[in-house]
Amino acid sequence: MEEAIELDSRYKTLKEEFSVPTFGSFGIPGDADTKTTYLCGNSLGLMPLAIRRAINDELDAWGERAVDSHFRHPGLDDGKTNWMDIDLPVIPLIKDIVGAQEDEVAIMGSLTANLNALMVAFYKPQGKRTKILFEKGSFPSDYYAIFNQLRLNSLDPQTDMIQMEPRKGEYTLRTQDIISQIESHSETLALVLLPGIQYYTGQLFDIEVITRVAKSHGIIIGWDLAHAVGNVPLKLHDWGVDFAVWCSYKYLNSGPGAISGIFVHSSHGTNEEDKYMPRLAGWWGNNASTRFKMMEFFDPIQGALGFRQSNPSVIDVVSVHASLKLFQEYGGIGKLREKSVALTRYLETLLKDSPYFNNTEYGFKILTPDDPEDRGAQLSLLFFPRTTDSTPGIMDDIHQFMTHRGVICDERRPDVIRIAPVPLYNTFQDVFHAVEVLNSAFDTKSPKSS
Ligand SMILES: *Cc1c(COP(=O)(O)O)cnc(C)c1O
Ligand SMILES: *[C@@H]1O[C@H](CO)[C@@H](O)[C@H](O)[C@H]1NC(C)=O
Ligand SMILES: *[C@@H]1O[C@H](CO)[C@@H](O)[C@H](O)[C@H]1NC(C)=O
């Protein structure tokens, strides 16, 4: 514990800016006021306290001026924004987090809806080039979206989906193997779609290299950054990524189902033809100066804003804004990543010191790559004994034991627990405590000790 305390003195935390569930609020027996150890930010980030005020201000505006707040917000002098342009102040904050130019990002929609919308715009099967390359074991929503995108184009998912999986006995994909797949299907691929960070294993893909290879073969490449945004620094513009989508409720801490965002590279929209690129369109993507003229002519804003369809949920947008301010307050994503690497390294070290580490009879393995370059905050643990058709594995018991002691992490049935120390609000002491509780879960449940 001394080491954890010492490490905490070296790295800033903004834990006091967040609402951390207590034993009492979470409904766990024990001292009601004790805070839980929340290591589940990969699933739902904690609530920034500032969001309550931000939402209340908009409720006030709605109550005080109703429709007029679109153009004459009562809080203008207080730094508030007319609802017309409510999403625009978020742009400078998010662009630094994803490494984009201002005209390459927009706040809109939700992750899967945006993925569907951008696939409609960017997936253009033609001649032999019809296939979509992605991973086996992708997040189901992404699978469903891809599957149906092919069907919408009257193509056969059986032949036009190419799914990559790790080599036998391995849990994560090798960059070289992904490159080989792209190269061997270079003539028939219309789209490569990958997660920045794999939700299950925590593997961080080499976005830069994979993007370069896809682009060199003239293949469109999109990234689902659900687990990467706000977790690792990104340079979407410099890497030449065609498009990307993400959500705001995981590492961006903006609230359950909060409005999400898109990236569209500025190389799209560089000529007249591109400007009118067919898409799922709506009035909010139209030039703001003519939007209310209600013309029968779609004049898209150049860049990502031209992909917006609807006027955004104001309450959602100000939540994202209040939350992203904390990234700025911390010193930016680069600074957060420094702490994150140390924090996850510390978790890994403690786990590897556990008597149960790498024990495939009664213990756990780490699925996530060892190299910090190949992962974000999260480590995924695989538990033994594993679940079989006739017997439940041990993971559920371990997870329940930890939860009852206030260590909140995320289970993926049948046999995996994901632990994500989030640098904005987690401490080295949180990590120390979590591993202590994990070890005592094994001690307690051990057939040997009972
Ligand atoms: C979290 C997550 C989603 C969730 O999609 P929503 O549209 O936000 O419900 C989809 N894909 C991936 C890879 C995710 O990690
Ligand atoms: C919107 O239209 C006006 C008038 O035609 C034009 O000057 C302006 O550049 C357009 N703005 C965008 C973002 O396209
Ligand atoms: C885990 O155990 C296997 C088999 O006993 C061994 O080959 C491997 O090196 C161990 N891995 C680690 C990371 O200790």
Residue 21 has pLDDT above 50, yes or no: yes
3-state secondary structure of 102: helix
The residue with tokens 């994901």 is: 418
Contacts of 396 (CB under 8 A, 6+ apart): 411, 413
DSSP code for 48: E
Residues 400-413: tens digit of each pLDDT: 999 999 999 999 99
Nearest by Cα to 14 from 426, 421, 305: 426
| Closest ligand (CA of 259) | 1
Residue 403: CATH number of its domain: 3.90.1150.10
Q: 257 with 376, same domain?
A: no
Q: 190 with 248, same domain?
A: yes
Q: 253 with 357, same domain?
A: no
Using left for φ > 0, alpha for ψ between -120 and 50, and beta otherwise, residue 202 falls in: left
**Last residue in a domain, options 327, 352, 384:** 327
Pairing of strands 131-135, 189-195: parallel
Q: What is the pTM of this model?
A: 0.96
Q: Which of 43, 44, 111, 148 to mutate to test the pocket of ligand 1 (most atoms within 8 A of CB)?
A: 111
The verdict on residue 187 lying in a domain is yes
Q: How far is the CA of 253 from the centre of ligand 2 (A)?
A: 34
- 19-42: b or e for each residue (b if 16 or more CB lie within 10 Å)? ebbbbeebebeeeeeebbbbbbbb
Q: 289 with 313, same domain?
A: yes
Give me the helix-helix angle, 333-352 and 428-445, nearest 10°. Answer: 30
**Last residue in a domain, options 276, 300, 327:** 327
Q: How far is the CA of 155 from the centre of ligand 2 (A)?
A: 39
Cα gap 276→288, rounded to integer Å: 16
The verdict on residue 44 lying in a domain is no
Residue 445 has pLDDT above 70, yes or no: no
Ligand 2, atom 3, residue with closest C-alpha: 289
Residue 250: CATH number of its domain: 3.40.640.10
The verdict on residue 41 lying in a domain is no
Q: 319 with 336, same domain?
A: no
The verdict on residue 393 lying in a domain is yes
The residue with tokens 């260590």 is: 407
Domain count within the chain: 2
Cβ pair 224, 115 in contact under 8 A: yes
Counting Cβ atoms within 10 Å, is residue 81 exposed (0-12), middle (13-18) or buried (19+)?
Answer: buried
Full domain range(s) for residue 84: 65-327
- In one-letter notation, the amino acid at residue 105 is V
The verdict on residue 40 lying in a domain is no
Nearest by Cα to 306 from 332, 277, 286, 336: 286
Predicted local distance difference test score (pLDDT) of residue 448:
44
Ligand 2, atom 7, residue with closest C-alpha: 289
Q: Which of 139, 229, 262, 418 to mutate to test the pocket of ligand 1 (most atoms within 8 A of CB)?
A: 139
Q: How far is the CA of 275 from the centre of ligand 2 (A)?
A: 12
Ligand 2 contacts CB of residue 266 (under 6 A): no
Q: 111 with 221, same domain?
A: yes
Q: 299 with 344, same domain?
A: no
Counting Cβ atoms within 10 Å, is residue 82 exposed (0-12), middle (13-18) or buried (19+)?
Answer: middle
Q: 419 with 287, same domain?
A: no
CB atoms within 10 A of CB 216: 12
**Last residue in a domain, options 279, 297, 327:** 327
Ligand 1, atom 2, residue with closest C-alpha: 226
Ligand 2 contacts CB of residue 289 (under 6 A): yes
Q: 155 with 301, same domain?
A: yes
Residues 313-356: tens digit of each pLDDT: 999 999 999 999 999 999 999 999 999 999 999 999 999 999 99
Residue 116 has pLDDT above 70, yes or no: yes
Chain CA centroid to CA 232, Å = 10
Q: 313 with 346, same domain?
A: no
CB atoms within 10 A of CB 18: 23
Residues 212-246: tens digit of each pLDDT: 999 999 999 999 999 999 999 999 999 999 999 99
Q: 285 with 354, same domain?
A: no
Q: How far is the CA of 348 from the centre of ligand 3 (A)?
A: 15
